[in-house]
Amino acid sequence: MAKITVRNTSTGALAKLYSARDGSAPKANPFNADENGQVLFFVAGGAYTIKAEFGNQERTWPFVPIGTAAEYDIDSLAQYLNSGVVYFQTYAALVAYLPLSFPSAGIVLNDPDPLRDGYYTNDGAGWVFGRTMPDTIAKLTIAGGGVNTPTAVVGTGVNPASPLVFYIDVASPNTGSVTLSVTGLGQGVVLNAAGNPLAAGEWQGRVMLTRESDGRYRIMNDPASALSAAQSATQATQQADRAESEADRAEAAAGDVLHSVQYEPQTLTEPQKMQARTNIGAFASPSGTTAEYVRGDGTLATMDSSAVDLGNVANKSEAQMTETGAIADALAEKFDKSGGTVTGNIDATGYIQAEGDIVTQGDLWVGDKNVIAEINAKAGFYAGSDPDEVNYPIGAILSCHTTESTVPLLNEIIVPRLHTSKRVVANFGSGALLTGVWVGIGQSIVSTTQWGCFIQRVR
């Protein structure tokens, strides 16, 4: 009998053979043909080299195709193979694959970059992206941010732009308007079902939301109300249980009282009523007039001045009350609106208007007394004799030395200072600056070596 040897054509290794189609009974390799020269074995699909040996004779059949595809017609086989569609886990594996014919289709299932997952076509010029995988709904997981500015991510392998609906579990309620940022999708304000920015407490529990065309997110449900309703229902059930329990106890207690005390209505005479009130320490209800009152002992009395002890209060007229005493003292300090003298300070935060003269023996400040110069004796003509004087009165006129290029125009502001000689003022040098604002009122010296002008203090 002939000896049969089966090897994998690609590797040259002995193939693993079986006697049954389902692979339940292994078969030896090599093995002998039967007495009729027939052989039967089962092997995984592939290309095999089969060699038959009998004595010094042998024959080899290379590249023998074996597999379940042999059971299909070509049209059925193409349909079975999904008409040429190939599947790869990554985009890199797809682009490395060269289709046997064109056009061809490919699918990327789980690339590290979810944006590359989806359907592709190849007409011979390379793989072209068609559309994303159809993820209709996806879970968002909060990854950081605050209660009003959460950041979230989608699950592994999900293109953030693909789902139509998202859901997210929120543990901490918001305190105001919420801005959600989804990795790979962008940031947007969250709106409630009515299309308004969220109020405090609307962002909590399980939230269903969609991504609007303008980039904002919109909640499809009302999680806060659902949570509140659930809590209210639970509280209502608990309260009902407590009420029922209290009612049972009250009913039991009432039954005990009814069994132990029997009330029988009685009609009492006036002496009996008086005695009953005396027994419990109560007074009889007096019957008086509107001019009377009930005293502590239960008797009636007339309401007059003696009843409230007004006899101890001095009964004075208005004129008598303003002659002496606290009222008179207070009136003496009042400033008469028709005129008078104020001996203290007057601080006013508003305007003080006067149709006549305001005469003061002290300083009169206009505006902020810490900023604006005081107007007092420093107004008018200067009558002092201090050679170091720098604070001349408003209106004072002085002669000022200048350079040829710094002679001021009429009413042009000039910055004078006391000359170190203490004989003149000038707009140059290093002497002390004069107080206030000064302007030029005319040129005074004109020569090839000396220049000057008259100046006047205006503020």
- What is the per-residue pLDDT for 328? 77
Q: Residue range 251-279: average pLDDT?
A: 69
Strand 127-131's sheet: what is its strand order?
85-88, 104-108, 118-122, 127-131
CB neighbour list of residue 214: distance below 8 Å, 6 or more residues apart: 188
Question: Can you read off the two tokens belonging to residue 25?
Answer: 């009974």
The full length of the chain comes to 459
CA atoms within 13 A on the CB side of 338: 0
Instruction: Say if CB 49 and CB 77 are below 8 A apart.
Output: no
Give percent of the chain with pLDDT exceeding 90: 36
Query: Does 107 score more than 60 pLDDT?
Result: yes
Instruction: Say if CB 142 and CB 152 are below 8 A apart.
Output: yes
Whether this model's pTM surpasses 0.75: no
Instruction: Say if CB 115 and CB 159 are below 8 A apart.
Output: yes
Which residues, listed in sequence order, are joined to residue 50 by a DSSP beta bridge?
Answer: 6, 61
From 16-30, 125-139, 234-248, the region with the lowest mean pLDDT: 234-248
- What is the per-residue pLDDT for 371? 43
Distance, CA of 166 to CA of 58 (rounded, Å): 69
- What is the per-residue pLDDT for 290? 80
Instruction: Say if CB 407 and CB 420 are below 8 A apart.
Output: no
Q: pLDDT-derived band of residue 372, with 50, 70 and 90 as boundaries?
A: very low
Which residues, listed in sequence order, are joined to residue 186 by a DSSP beta bridge?
Answer: 182
Query: Does 210 score more than 90 pLDDT?
Result: yes
Name which of 115, 96, 114, 20 is nearest 106 in CA terms. Answer: 96
Q: Any idea what the Cα angle at residue 380 is, between residues 375 and 386, rounded to 5°? A: 90
Query: Does 155 score more than 60 pLDDT?
Result: yes
Write the single-letter amino acid at 92. Answer: A
Which residues, listed in sequence order, are joined to residue 417 by a DSSP beta bridge?
Answer: 426, 433
User: What distances in angstroms separate CA 266 from CA 272, 282, 283, 284, one per listed residue?
Assistant: 11, 19, 21, 19
Which position has the higher pLDDT, 400 or 365? 400
- What is the per-residue pLDDT for 109? 87
From 208-212, 223-227, 393-397, 415-419, the region with the lowest mean pLDDT: 223-227
3-state secondary structure the chain: CCEEEEEECCCCCECCEECCCCCCCEECCCEECCCCCCCCCECCCEEEEEEEEECCEEEEEEEEEECHHHHCCHHHHHHHCHHHEEEECCHHHHHCCCCCCCCEEEEECCCCCHHHCEEEEECCCCEEEEECCCCCEEEEEEEEECCCCEEEEECCCCCCCCCCEEEEEECCCCCCCCEEEECCCEEEEEECCCCCECCCCCCCEEEEEEECCCCCEEECCCHHHHHHHHHHHHHHHHHHHHHHHHHHHHHHHHHHHHHHCCCCCCCCCHHHHHHHHHHHCCCCCCCCCCCEEECCCCCEEECCHHHHCHHHCCCCCHHHHCCCCHHHHHHHCCCCCCCCCCCCCCCCCCCCCCCCCCCCCCCECCCCCCCCCCECCCECCCCCCCCCCCCCCECCEEEEEECHHHCCCCCCEECCEECCCCCCEECCCCCCECCCCEEEEEEEEECCCCEEEEEEECC
Distance, CA of 152 to CA of 133 (rounded, Å): 21
Question: Can you read off the two tokens belonging to residue 456?
Answer: 């006047």
Q: pLDDT-derived band of residue 318, with 50, 70 and 90 as boundaries?
A: confident
Distance, CA of 175 to CA of 117 (rounded, Å): 38
Tens digits of residue pLDDT in 61-102 = 999 988 766 655 555 454 445 456 888 999 999 999 888 778
Instruction: Say if CB 396 and CB 456 are below 8 A apart.
Output: yes
Question: Rg of the Cα trace of the chain?
Answer: 56
Greatest Cα pair distance, the chain, in angstroms, is 160
Please state the φ and ψ torsions of residue 170, each to the nearest 5 degrees: -105, 120
Query: Does 350 score more than 70 pLDDT?
Result: no
Tens digits of residue pLDDT in 328-339 = 777 777 766 666
Mean pLDDT taken over the chain: 81
- What is the per-residue pLDDT for 416? 95
From 9-13, 219-223, 444-448, the region with the lowest mean pLDDT: 444-448
Instruction: Say if CB 408 and CB 399 are below 8 A apart.
Output: no
- What is the per-residue pLDDT for 79? 47
Residue matched to tokens 């940031």: 187
Which position has the higher pLDDT, 25 or 324? 25
Q: Residue range 299-320: average pLDDT?
A: 75
The neighbour count for residue 91, using CB atoms within 10 Å, is 20
Q: pLDDT-derived band of residue 41, with 50, 70 and 90 as boundaries?
A: very high
